[in-house]
Structure 1
Amino acid sequence: MKTLLRPLCAAAALTAMLAAPMAAQAHRQWMLPSMTVMSGNDPWITVDAAVSNDLFIFEHVPMRLDGLVITGPDGAAVAHQNAATGKYRTTFDLHLAKPGTYRIASVGDGVMASYKLGGEQKRWRGAPAELATAIPAGATEVKITHSQRRIETFATAGEPTTEALKPTGQGLELAPITHPNDLVAGETAQFRLLLDGQPAAGVEVAVIRGGGRYRNDPGEMSLTTAADGLLEITWPEPGMYWMEAELRGGKSPIEGAERMAVYVGTLEVLPD
């Protein structure tokens, strides 16, 4: 009964992650499935992926699929099909060939560095593995930012399963306690926010229902994770919801780097 969300071009994605908290920014990244809970013998879904001002409205730029990772009910990787990128959105199809829950995620892990060399300001952007040889000897005023991003959604064919929901232990992740495809209006769902596999305490989380373009009040909920990373959300009404959490600082796997970890998800809440 529900669902969750990925980037634009590498430069734009990293820029967005290094700016003010994403919940306060005009442009939001998201993935939106055509359905989240299905039955039948041969279910398929189509997923839209975009960056927009209004949630789930195509009016800014498409997201790119270079970090797309889809995990099937057995934990194995699943390929998407029929991908196409237009002016405002990217779309792809997913065949839910096996019964159970699928995790559809766009994952990014990048580094930005600035430094001075010979009195001239330099900048570099790339993968963490490239960092060791990217900054030349003699560089001064070196500043490194390690940015990790996860944008995801979930879909279930038949009965919900949990194998695809296992955390990877990298970056900021949502570990469902309540199944993400079993969310009902008026009920309270529980999740746990993790950073590198450990509970992320005191993280601010924004939850916004889609359709704000047609309402005066966007209906944003501002929540904070507990000491054990627990996040409880009581859904006021049915609909598609966008969730965003951002964590700055803390220890990075890259020595000397400033940490920036972002989680974005889309969840569907069904009527009681």
Structure 2
Amino acid sequence: MTKPMPKLALLLLAAALPFAASAHKGWLAPSKTVLNVDQWITVDAGVSTDPFVRDHNAMKLDNLVITAPDGTTVAAENTASGKLRSTFDLQLKQAGTYRIAILNEGLNASWTEDGKPKRWRGTADKFAAEVPAKAEGLKVSESQGRLETFATAGKPNDTALKPTGKGLELVPVSGIADLFVGEEATFRFLLDGKPAPNLEVEVIRDGTRYRNTIGEKTFKTDAEGQVKLSWTEPGLHYLSASVQDARTSVPQAKERRASYTATVEVLSP
């Protein structure tokens, strides 16, 4: 007979749960990424332990931003959210490359109140009103997250792909619509608009549910923030990277976590 878990162990386990939850990966899964003008795509958005496996939570679409090939912002259609995934449709009315992004940024705070731990998450403009200024043991961090995928109608262009200069971003050096098995692709990662050297980039191919291992591969950017990737299998691929530093954009926070995730489609030659 197993002994009951001590109370202290239960408390430690409960405290660890938020960190375990952070291991889940957010992803976008487009039905296609290379099409003709006026064709439609549908995109699934979810959060799960492994990319593209619909088994945990739907991704919120509140911060969905779609940039058209001319640089304007366009709206998704037929948005819906279920238990395990969200979904939306997009008609590619313009020729060129669209950037489909979910942008998440805000502050995380923790402190002690009446001997009990308190946690808060929200935007910088609400911080002063909702977090005690003299809270005991107050710790504040900033998070900047960018989750993206891309779709191209006809001839690609790069207007929608220009970096904002904020947080961690990816800039395709080789074409984002020209990813083929057996060919090398080059991407540049930027942090606040500058090259991000020695950045670890994780790549996971779709189909983890049907493999014995996740099969993730890791690469590092060079001094110019560039990473070269070779593709051995067609299909969707999940790319992710993150950094932690003290370069916050708000005075309340002392540290920052900037993350970037993209879904790209690799085609057969």
* Same fold at TM > 0.5: yes
TM alignment of 1:149-168, pairs within 5 A: 149-168=145-164
Question: Does 1:32 pair with 2:45?
Answer: no
Hey, what does 1:242 align to over in structure 2? 238
Q: Per-residue deviation at 1:119?
A: 5.5
Q: 1:94 to 1:188 in 2, by over 3 A?
A: same
TM alignment of 1:123-138, pairs within 5 A: 123-138=119-134
- Distance in 1, Cα, partners of 2:127 & 2:192: 20
Question: Does 1:262 pair with 2:268?
Answer: no
TM-score (norm: length of structure 1): 0.86
Contact 1:69 1:105 in 2 (8 A): yes
Hey, what does 1:195 align to over in structure 2? 191
TM alignment of 1:22-61, pairs within 5 A: 25=23, 27-39=24-36, 41-61=37-57
Hey, what does 2:173 align to over in structure 1? 177
Contact 1:72 1:102 in 2 (8 A): yes
**Letter aligned with residue 72 of structure 1:** A
Contact 2:198 2:225 in 1 (8 A): yes
**Letter aligned with residue 35 of structure 1:** K
Q: Which of 213, 223, 228 matches 1:227?
A: 223
SS of the equivalent of 1:97 reads coil
Contact 1:117 1:138 in 2 (8 A): no
- Distance in 2, Cα, partners of 1:36 & 1:109: 26
**Could you report, residue by residue, the CA deviation over 1:19-72 in whole angstroms, capped at 9, with x for unpaired residues?**
4797xx3x2210111110002x52111001111234322221111100100000
**Letter aligned with residue 268 of structure 1:** E
Aligned length: 252
Contact 1:62 1:86 in 2 (8 A): yes
**Letter aligned with residue 158 of structure 1:** G
Q: 1:263 to 1:43 in 2, by over 3 A?
A: same
Q: Per-residue deviation at 1:120?
A: 5.3
Contact 1:109 1:128 in 2 (8 A): no
**Could you report, residue by residue, the CA deviation over 1:104-134 in whole angstroms, capped at 9, with x for unpaired residues?**
0000011011234566543322102333444
TM-score (norm: length of structure 2): 0.87
Q: Which of 183, 187, 207 matches 1:211?
A: 207
- Distance in 2, Cα, partners of 1:155 & 1:111: 31
Hey, what does 2:67 align to over in structure 1? 71
Hey, what does 1:9 align to over in structure 2? none
Structure number with greater Rg is: 2
- Distance in 1, Cα, partners of 2:118 & 2:57: 28
SS of the equivalent of 1:58 reads coil
TM alignment of 1:70-109, pairs within 5 A: 70-109=66-105
Contact 1:21 1:246 in 2 (8 A): no
- Distance in 1, Cα, partners of 2:77 & 2:188: 31
- Distance in 1, Cα, partners of 2:203 & 2:20: 17
- Distance in 1, Cα, partners of 2:221 & 2:21: 16
Hey, what does 1:10 align to over in structure 2? none
Q: Per-residue deviation at 1:202?
A: 1.5
How well do the aligned residues superpose, as a CA RMSD in angstroms? 2.1
SS of the equivalent of 1:130 reads helix
- Distance in 2, Cα, partners of 1:128 & 1:226: 34
Q: 1:19 to 1:258 in 2, by over 3 A?
A: farther
- Which structure 1 residue ranges, 5 or more long, are not aligned? 1-17
- Distance in 2, Cα, partners of 1:187 & 1:125: 43
Q: 1:21 to 1:245 in 2, by over 3 A?
A: farther
SS of the equivalent of 1:108 reads strand
- Distance in 2, Cα, partners of 1:117 & 1:57: 39
SS of the equivalent of 1:236 reads coil
SS of the equivalent of 1:232 reads strand
Hey, what does 1:4 align to over in structure 2? none
**Could you report, residue by residue, the CA deviation over 1:83-107 in whole angstroms, capped at 9, with x for unpaired residues?**
1111211110001111110000000
**Letter aligned with residue 149 of structure 2:** T
